[in-house]
């Protein structure tokens, strides 16, 4: 059976498919895995451990030897993406009482400020150049729930102890230190990161009831389109202003699969978000799928437009 190949045909499948399997199991047989021991560790109670492991492996990839031009453009695209995510989410919080068309501040912020790194590297390798791909090094700072927590706390929308926030970024920092000290360690952990993702997704799904999917519906699709259009335009402009072709900016217009874990991570830190976290998680998952389909089309469009402008070179 070609199970792995089938999963990879789904946009963001290695994250999305286990997530929905976990949701199905939690909805129709919620106590099936709650038998104690190692088996129960694969329920939602094990999610924080898998998330910490994932953040550590991501941290090992954050090298400090990128060329200055890559760092400049990479940080520029990152600040553009995170900046517009903050602006839109805070506008929803303050002018729409935290909910517009079924989309909450938490869902919008989580979906907009985290780029799908694997897709970014694949697209920039196909349509861009080595420098375009290298801009992801500083952009990888977006990974995980830390920035989302920081924004929510800074805006007075969440009450999260600073030590709790540090505990989120600590695995990333530890990974970054080891990854910069030893290339072999960086290569080892980086190569094994995909193994953690399905377990993280499955345990995350174990905390969501499938009825939340019905509520997500159209708002989730709308969220994905909004991420593509809003962050795409802003990141393309930032990339071009900093000397790029716009390809890297277009490739950054996606939602990372790991962003589906951000609402739950925020809810663990601040229980006042517990009620909306399940719906926000499903909406972010929908954004992952929508942008996985549309971001490559946008990147190809920017590439072909540049090609025509340069006379087909």
The model's pLDDT over 181-196, given as tens digits with 9 standing for 90+, comes to 999 998 898 788 788 8
pLDDT at 111: 93
What are the φ and ψ backbone dihedral angles of 135, each rounded to 5 degrees?
-70, -10
pLDDT at 235: 96
From the first residue on, what is the mean pLDDT of each consecutive set of 10 residues in the chain (313 residues)?
83 75 87 88 84 80 70 89 94 92 92 84 78 77 82 84 81 87 89 83 78 73 94 95 92 87 90 90 87 85 87 62
Torsion sign, CA atoms 313, 80, 172, 138: positive
- How far apart are alpha carbons 277 and 217 in whole angstroms? 15
pLDDT at 266: 92
pLDDT at 139: 78
pLDDT at 89: 93
Q: Give first-to-last CA distance, the chain, whole Å.
A: 44
pLDDT at 222: 93
pLDDT at 83: 93
Cα 246 to chain centroid distance, Å, stands at 21
pTM over 0.85: no
């Amino acid at each position: 059976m070609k199970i792995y190949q089938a999963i990879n045909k789904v946009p963001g499948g290695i994250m999305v498919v286990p997530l929905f399997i976990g949701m199905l199991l939690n909805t129709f047989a919620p106590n099936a895995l709650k038998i104690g021991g190692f088996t129960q560790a694969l329920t939602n109670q094990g999610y924080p451990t898998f998330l910490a492991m994932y953040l550590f492996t991501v941290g090992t990839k954050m090298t400090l030897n990128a060329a200055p031009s890559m760092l400049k453009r990479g940080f520029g695209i990152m600040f553009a993406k995170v900046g517009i995510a903050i602006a839109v989410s805070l506008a929803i919080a303050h002018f729409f009482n935290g909910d517009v068309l079924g989309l909450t501040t938490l869902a919008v912020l989580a979906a907009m400020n985290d780029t799908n790194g694997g897709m970014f590297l694949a697209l920039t390798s196909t349509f861009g150049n080595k420098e375009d791909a290298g801009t992801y090094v500083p952009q990888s700072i977006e990974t995980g729930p830390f920035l989302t927590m920081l924004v929510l706390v800074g805006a007075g929308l969440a009450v999260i102890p600073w030590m709790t926030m540090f505990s989120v970024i600590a695995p990333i920092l530890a990974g970054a230190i080891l990854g910069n000290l030893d290339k072999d360690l960086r290569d080892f952990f980086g190569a094994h990161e995909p193994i953690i993702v399905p377990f993280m997704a499955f345990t995350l799904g174990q905390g969501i009831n499938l009825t939340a999917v019905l509520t997500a519906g159209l708002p989730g699709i709308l969220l994905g389109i909004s991420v593509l259009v809003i962050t795409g335009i802003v990141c393309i402009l930032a990339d071009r202003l900093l000397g790029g072709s716009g390809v890297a900016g277009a490739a950054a217009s996606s939602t990372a699969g790991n962003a589906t874990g951000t609402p739950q991570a925020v809810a663990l830190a601040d229980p006042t978000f517990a009620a909306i976290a399940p719906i926000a998680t499903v909406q972010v998952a929908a954004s992952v799928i929508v942008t996985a389909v549309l971001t490559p089309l946008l990147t190809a469009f920017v590439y072909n437009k540049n090609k025509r402008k340069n006379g087909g070179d």
